[in-house]
Every structure is written in C-alpha cells, then in structure tokens.
C-alpha cells in the first residue's frame, strides 16, 4: 500500500512536471517574438524629413556704394549710397524697400568747352554756376528674374522718388588784367569774354557762396545683380531720372535755362548682403 501510494505520488509529480514543461515551451515562442519585436524597434531606420536647402539668395538686406555717370554730366557724374531691405524673401517675386542717396553734378545741355588762345586751358564758355543735386530717394524694388542655382544674373525693376536739394556754386574763370596779371573770379558775362579769359578758375573755389534751389525727382530703371561671391554684391543700375525744380536754375549766362532736367544714367554698385 505504501509503495502504491509512493508510485501514485511520483506519477502525479511527473505529470505535473510534464505539463509545466509543455506550458513553458508553448509560451517561449510568444515571448521571443515579443522580445524580438521590442528589440528590433530601436534598430529601425528613423523616418527622415527632407531638409530645407539653404538658399544663398535668402538675405535680409543689401548695402552698396556706387559711382555714376549720366547724360547731364561728364564721365564721372557723382556718387550713390543705396540700402535695399527685403519685404518678403519667400514671395514668388521678392520685393524690397529701396533707399538711395545720391550726389551728382548736373550740366546744361548747351555747355561747350573752349580753350584760351586756341590751345590753352579749357573752360565752359558762358557757364555761370555749377549745379549739384543731392537726392534722397525712397522706392520699391521687385524681382523680375532670379538666377538659378548654377549662377547667372538677378534682374530687378524699381521706381523711386524724393526731394531734390539743388546747390548752385559760382563758376570761376581766370582773367587777364594786363601785364600778365591773372585773377580768378566768378564768371560775369558783362565783364569777361573770350578775349580776357585764360581758363577755368578751379573747381574748389566758391563753395562758401552757394545758393539753394529746392525740387523733386523721380526715377525708374533696372538693376542687374552680377554673379559674385556669396556675401558680396556687384550690380549695374540703368534708368531714367527727372528733376523738377521750383524755378529755372541758372547754370548758363548766355543760354536759356530750365527748371526740368531729364537724363539717362548708369551706376555700378559694390556692396554686401546680410
């Protein structure tokens, strides 16, 4: 009886161990799968969004200085300082605020150069005053064509306007007064003629005797930004400008004077972007 009981107990233990082993074997694949799934998750390649490319045209402002020539001046007409501020860089046609200050010399179209004695010093016969125009301007600039990523030229169109501050400086001539006595004095048509003028009296004389004449100006044109270094800016500006003064400006003593001056101009700018 005792042996029978021991046998039954051993049988029950073996059956229980067998059932436990089978249960463990059934659970092992599921646990392995779960573990594998969990461990595989960190190794999965993370989803990446396309990075936004850095555009070298994405700037906020351009500051430039320039030299200009125009149809109412000589080869060197004057100087300009320009500031362009971007309104919206992401617009299909980028727009900018256009701030410009220029100082230029304005000639009368009837001016001509004579030479004393036929081959001596040159002077503008009949010229009574220099006219210097200081023009602060504000306008709007819009992109017409933008260069590709491979390079090229940006083309912008603009229109600007502002006051014109006209300054008249007396034109000096050197005059003979007998026995080689030479005097530099403001040109006076009642006193000076081709018989006693020896040449121009010098540009820097008479700045203390300047007179002021106010006016307004308007201009329009195109700006061609040449392909250059990323942070630099080299551009050509071509356009048309009109000055309207409050009265006739006396540049010439022996010719008709005017209150409206129109000109075409060309300016080369050197600057940088920020």
Structure-token pair, residue 102: 């220029």
Q: What are phi and psi for residue 244, nearest 5 degrees?
A: -125, 115
> How many C-beta atoms surround the C-beta of residue 220 within 10 A?
14
* Confidence tier at 39 by pLDDT (50, 70, 90): very low
Strand, helix or coil at 20? helix
Structure-token pair, residue 201: 């009296």
pLDDT, tens digit (0-9, with 9 covering 90-100), for 55-97: 456 789 999 999 999 999 988 999 999 999 999 877 788 999 9
Q: CA 236, CA 226: separation in Å to the nearest integer?
A: 8
Structure-token pair, residue 213: 């004449």
Q: What are phi and psi for residue 19, nearest 5 degrees?
A: -65, -40
pLDDT of amino acid 116: 83
Query: Cβ(182)–Cβ(198) under 8 Å?
Result: yes
Q: Single out the residue of 71, 102, 221, 82 nearest to residue 166, CA to CA.
A: 102
pLDDT, tens digit (0-9, with 9 covering 90-100), for 174-210: 998 877 788 999 999 999 998 899 999 989 999 999 9
pLDDT, tens digit (0-9, with 9 covering 90-100), for 224-240: 998 655 668 899 999 99
| Ramachandran quadrant class, 48 (left: phi over 0; alpha: psi -120 to 50; beta: rest) | beta
């Amino acid at each position: 009886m005792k042996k029978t009981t021991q046998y039954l107990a051993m049988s029950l233990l073996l059956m229980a161990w067998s059932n436990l082993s089978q249960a463990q074997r059934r659970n092992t694949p599921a646990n392995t799968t779960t573990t594998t799934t969990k461990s595989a998750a960190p190794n999965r390649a993370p989803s990446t969004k396309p990075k936004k490319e850095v555009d070298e045209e994405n700037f906020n402002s351009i500051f430039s200085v320039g030299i200009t020539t125009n149809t109412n001046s000589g080869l060197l007409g004057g100087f300009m300082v320009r500031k362009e501020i971007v309104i919206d860089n992401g617009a299909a046609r980028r727009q900018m605020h256009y701030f410009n200050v220029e100082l230029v010399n304005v000639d009368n179209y009837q001016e001509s150069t004579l030479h004393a004695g036929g081959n001596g010093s040159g002077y503008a016969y009949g010229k009574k005053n220099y006219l210097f125009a200081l023009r602060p301007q504000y306008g709007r600039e819009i992109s017409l064509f933008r260069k590709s990523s491979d390079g090229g030229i940006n083309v912008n169109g603009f229109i600007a306007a502002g006051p014109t501050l006209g300054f008249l400086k007396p034109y000096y001539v050197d005059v003979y007064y007998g026995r080689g006595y030479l005097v530099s004095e403001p040109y006076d048509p009642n006193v000076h003629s081709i018989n006693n003028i020896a040449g121009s009296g010098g540009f820097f004389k008479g700045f203390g005797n300047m007179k002021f004449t106010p006016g307004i100006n308007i201009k329009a044109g195109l700006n061609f930004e040449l392909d250059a270094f990323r942070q630099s800016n080299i551009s050509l500006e071509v356009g048309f400008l009109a000055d309207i003064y409050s009265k006739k400006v006396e540049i010439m003593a022996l010719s008709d004077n005017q209150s409206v001056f129109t000109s075409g101009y060309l300016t080369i700018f050197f600057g940088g972007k920020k």
